[in-house]
Amino acid sequence: QYHIEKKADLSIANIIIPKEQATRFGVIEIDEDYKVLSFIEKPEDPPEIPGKPGSSFANMGIYIFNVKVLTDVIKELTDKKVPNLDVGKHVIPRMIEKKYNIRAFRFEDENSTTSPYWVDVGTIESYYKASMDLLSVNPEFNLYDSSWPLRTKQQQSPPAKTLSHEGERVGRAINSLITDGTIISGGLVERSIIGPSVRVNSYTYITDSIIMDRCNIGRHAKIRRAIIDKNVNVPEHEEIGFDPDIDRKRFTVTETGIVVIRKNYQFES
């Protein structure tokens, strides 16, 4: 609605943050009518919002373009053979140079006294933290908030299921998000996010981890503080997240010890 009302060629969603934090983001400089004057990536001295000293407008990476304007600018930059064409580095600065009508949209809920939720998940650490935050009792970003429904692609899959067998083979999920099509068959999942159509087999232990679509976790496997991308078959008795030296030889490991396994990774037999 804002984009239409302003007859904008481009609308950029922004969030107000303290100026001292804005050096980590793309920052928008605006006039009193929220027209964009400049776009600066990670500035040393971020421009302040008019009338709000000490605050800056951080780019959220959400854009609405006039299609013809966007295609014209991209064609122009492509004809000039601009390498590694990027929206923030090339397209928006060129649109500002050409005096297009670019507007900043302030992301806020006028009916709420709390700050709107937004997190930059541009790093493994920030993505992991934001994901784990969803598991808290009262998360700041609540997937179950009916007043702000989350729109996403829904697969035609059966419900998640837990299976228990004799003895210690009890399928359990504690403080976790388990998505459709997943089967926890005699394994234990704690404080984790399990994607669609994952199979967690007997005696498996998964904690503080993110397991993406269609992974199969073999019997007796142990996984801790890991992000496992799609279509990975974790062998039986495999241990991930317990020995950083061994993990670094095979996977990506962050400074804080989060293990990342790429999509379609195949373990050596």
Q: Which domains does the chain have, with CATH numbers?
A: 2-110 (3.90.550.10), 161-261 (2.160.10.10)
The Cα-based distances of 211 to 33, 169, 198, 224 in angstroms read 45, 21, 8, 11
- 226 bridge partner residues: 259
199: left (phi > 0), else alpha (psi -120 to 50), else beta? beta
Between CA 213 and CA 160 the distance in angstroms is 13
pLDDT at residue number 52: 86
pLDDT at residue number 208: 99
Dihedrals phi, psi of 254, to nearest 5 degrees = -80, 175
pLDDT at residue number 113: 53
Show the tokens assigned to 53.
Answer: 């000293």
41: Cα separation from own chain's centroid:
20
What averages of pLDDT result for each successive group of 10 residues across the chain (269 residues)?
Answer: 95 91 88 90 88 89 95 96 91 95 85 70 93 93 84 86 84 96 96 97 97 98 98 98 96 97 94
- 64 bridge partner residues: 11
- Does pTM top 0.85 for this prediction? no
The Cα-based distances of 107 to 62, 73, 232 in angstroms read 10, 26, 38
- Sign of the CA dihedral running 9, 15, 19, 22: negative
pLDDT at residue number 150: 81
Long-range contacts of 46-50 (CB under 8 A, 24+ apart): 46/19, 46/22, 48/19, 49/16
